Amino acid sequence: MAAALTHQLAARRHFDVVVSSASTMLRPGHRASPATLAVLRERGIDAEAHRSRILTPEIVAHCDLVLTMERVHLRVAALMAPGAFDKSFTLKEFLRRALSTDRRQIQEPLDAYLERLNIGRDPLELLAAYESDEVSDPQGGPHAGFVATCDELALLCEGVVELLLGHS
């Protein structure tokens, strides 16, 4: 959901960015759940062609930024490639740090911005479980849970797009 929503937001603003997703748990090649597809379709997003893929060290190494839904996903990503911790955040942690740091400057390289976001960040914090950093996973729940998660992700993804690309 987050990748589809972010891609839609960036495309509406005519930002040329690559947004993709990968799983730390699923086998590759799975379609999005019918409930996920329905909720995205209600927002004008066709995700029928989506197929899951597994997060790999190569994927992490080639990403400029890794945003995860849960801290456990962050721990996995942060350990996959050299320097991965500095560019990997939960979605909520990224926004929290971005909102408490000076705004990204026009023409500021992403790696320089992420360096600022990492000031005072301790990798040992990854060992703790912070419920406030989690986006709930609606899988197996009612349709209302998918709607609530999609609504939350839409707000979070809009924040990311605005903070990273809004000044371009």
Q: So where are the chain's domains?
A: 2-165
**What mean pLDDT do residues 6-16 have?**
91
Core vs surface per residue 108-137: b (16+ CB within 10 A) or e = eeeeebbeebbeeeeeeebeeeeeebbbee
How confident is the model over 32-73, as pLDDT tens digits? 999 999 999 999 999 999 999 999 999 999 999 999 999 999
pLDDT at 166 (0 to 100): 66
Positive or negative: CA dihedral 137, 143, 146, 147: negative
Q: What is the pTM of this model?
A: 0.92
What CATH fold (topology level) applies to the domain 2-165? Rossmann fold (3.40.50)
